[in-house]
Structure 1
Amino acid sequence: MDLNIKGKTALITGGDSGIGRETAKFLAREGVNIILSDRKEGKDLSDAVTEVEKEAKDGATVVGIAADLSDNNEVLALAAKIDKDYGGAHIIFHSAGARGAAGDFLSLTDDDWMKTIDIDLLGSVRIARAFIPQMQKLKWGRMILVSSENAFQPYVEESPYNACKAAIINLSKCLSRSYSKENILFNCVSPAYIETPMTDAMMEELAKERDCSVEDAVKWFVKNERPHIAMQRRGKPEEVASVVAFLCSEQASYINGSNIRIDGGAVESAFG
C-alpha cells in the first residue's frame, strides 16, 4: 500500500531497537526521511541507521541523532537541529520509554515514582511541546505516542508505569482536541508483551530466578502472568510497527485521538 507520505520527515525516538527500529523500516520503505534518536551515541544507534538505510526507497535519507529526553535542553536542541537541517519533522513516533521502578506499592519511594514519570510521561510532554510548532509550520503532522495494556489492565508490581501509560492516552486525547484543525493528528498505540529489549531483560531476569532457559521463562510468564493473551505468545515488533506506519499515513486522516491496542487479546475487557 502506498501510504502517500513519500518525502516527509519522521523522528523516531527509541529508534535504535525494537518497535522504533521496525517502524523506521516501514516508513523508510515508503520513502520517508528517517531521523532515529536514542539517549546515547553508540553502536546500537549506528547499527540501526545502517539497517534502516538498507530498506530506504525513493531517495529517503536515514540519520541518527542522540538526545536524552529526560533533559529538556537536549530535547530543544534536537528539535532545533531537525528544524535547521531538515526543515522540521512531519511525523513523530515517540517510542522511547522504560518500565521504571517496580515492586510492592508501599516499597516505592517518591524518587522511584518521579524517575518513571520523568522518562515515560514527561518525555512525551517534552517531545510534543518541542515538535508541535514544527508541524504547525509545515501545516501537516502525525504524532504517535506509546501507551500499554497496563493503562487498561494494571499489574500490581508496576504502579508507576501503569499510571504513566494511562496518562499518555489522556495526553494524546487532549492534544488531538487542541490541534486537529491545523491538520495535526495525535494517536496512541498500546502494545502488550512485545519482543523488545525491555521484555528481553525481564525474561532474562526471570530465567535466572527460575533457573531455566529464556524460552521456558517466556512460556511460564505467558501462562502464569499474562493468561489473557489469547494468542499465547509475545508479539513481534513488526506487528506493532505496521499499525504505527498506517497511523502516520494520509490514509489515516480521520483517525484522531484514538488508542489502538496491539496486544494479542491481552486486555480481558471488551471495552478496555
Structure 2
Amino acid sequence: MHIDLSGKQAVVSGSTGGIGLAIVEGLAAAGARVVVNGRHADKVEQAIARVREKYPQADLLGFVGDLGSAEGCAALLEKHPHCDILVNNLGVYGPQDFFEIPDDEWTRFFETNVMSGVRLARSYVPGMAERGWGRVVFLSSESAQNIPADMIHYGFSKTALLSISRGLAKRMAGSGVTVNAVLPGPTLSEGVGEMLAEQVEETGKSLEEVGAEFVRTQRPSSIIQRLATVEEVANLVVYTCSTQASATSGAALRVDGGVIDALV
C-alpha cells in the first residue's frame, strides 16, 4: 500500500518527541506538509532537524506555543489557518493518588488532554468540510478503557476523547471528514524511557528488556509482551490519515499490543 498525502497540510500537536514526532515523520514521508508543535523553540527546531536528517525533502513548518491553553490554540490558528489533517497528540500524564490530586491538576489534565483537541477541531474541521475532505485523529490510550488506579485523572481525560471523537464523527457524517481515536498501549517513548532509566542502570539490562519486564508485571494481559515502538503507533495514525482509510470513521483503533482484553 502506497500512502500519498502530497498537497495535504497536517497539524500535529505536541510533536517534538515521542509518538508525536514519529507521526510527523510518517506524515512527512507520505508527502504531507506538517506543522511541528512544541512549547520551546529549541525543541521545535531540533525536531524539524531530526526529521529532515531522515527525510531531506520533508516539508515542515514550526509553531512554538502551548496548545493546552485557549491563547496558544488561537495563536496557532492565526499563524496556520489551513489544515487538512489534524492529529491531536498533545497530552500530559503522571501517576498520582486520587485522594491527593488537587482541583487545579484535574483542570490541567482536562485543558491539555481534552480541550486542546476540542478547540483545534472546532476551528479546523469546518474548513475540511467545505473542501469535502479531512482527517482528525485523537490520541487516546488503552487507559481510556483500562483506567489505571494510580492515574485516574489521566484515564478520565483519555475516555473523554473517545466520546468526543465518536460524537464528532457522527456530526460530520457524509462530509468527507473522518474522525477517529487511536489507543496506544505501553509505548517506548522518551517519557517511558526516563521512567525506566533507574531500573536499567540498576540491573544492567537493556531498555527493551526492562520495558518487557514492565509490561509483563504491569500489563500482564499484553499479547505482544513488550513495549510498542513509537513508529508502530505512528504507522496506524498515518494510515488513519490516508485516503485509503476513507471508510473508517467514528472508530476507537487500538494499537495496544492486545492489553485490552476485549473482542471489540
Query: TM (normalized to structure 1)?
Result: 0.89
TM-score, normalised to structure 2, is 0.91
**Deviation (angstroms), 1:230:** 1.6
Matches within 5 A, 1:102-113: 102-113=95-106
| Alignment CA distance shift 1:55-1:218 (3 Å) | closer
1:92 to 86, 94, 112: 86
Pairs within 5 Å for 1:12-23: 12-23=12-23
Take 1:6 and 1:40, find their aligned partners in 2: how far apart are those partners?
28
Q: Indicate if the aligned counterparts of 1:75 and 1:130 stay in contact, CA closer than 8 A.
A: no
CA distance in 1, matches of 2:126, 2:39: 23
Q: Does 1:25 align with 2:18?
A: no
Residue by residue over 1:111-150, the C-alpha shift from the partner in whole angstroms, topping out at 9 and shown as x without a partner, is 2211211211112212212222332343321011100001
Give the alignment of 1:111-260 within 5 angstroms: 111-204=104-197, 207=199, 211-213=202-204, 215=207, 217-260=210-253
Greater CA deviation, 130-139 or 164-173? 130-139
Give the drift of 1:2: 2.6
Moved more, 244-253 or 44-53: 44-53
Over the aligned positions, Cα root-mean-square deviation in angstroms equals 2.1
Separation of aligned partners in 1, 2:2 and 2:216: 39
CA displacement, residues 85-109 of structure 1 (integer Å, 9 cap, x when unaligned): xxx1100111111114x32222222
Worse overlay, 19-28 or 241-250: 19-28
**Gap regions ≥5 residues in structure 2:** none
**Deviation at 1:30?**
1.7
* 1:268 positional shift: 2.0
Aligned to 2:47: 48
Shift of 1:228: 1.2
Distance of 1:110 and 1:212 partners within structure 2: 38
Between Structure 1 and Structure 2, how many residues are aligned?
Answer: 262
Per the TM alignment, residue 60 of structure 1 is displaced from its structure 2 partner at its CA by: 5.1
Would you say the 8 A contact 1:14–1:37 is kept in 2? Answer: yes
8 Å contact kept, 1:28–1:55: no
Is residue 185–residue 256 contact of structure 1 (8 Å, CA) maintained in 2? yes
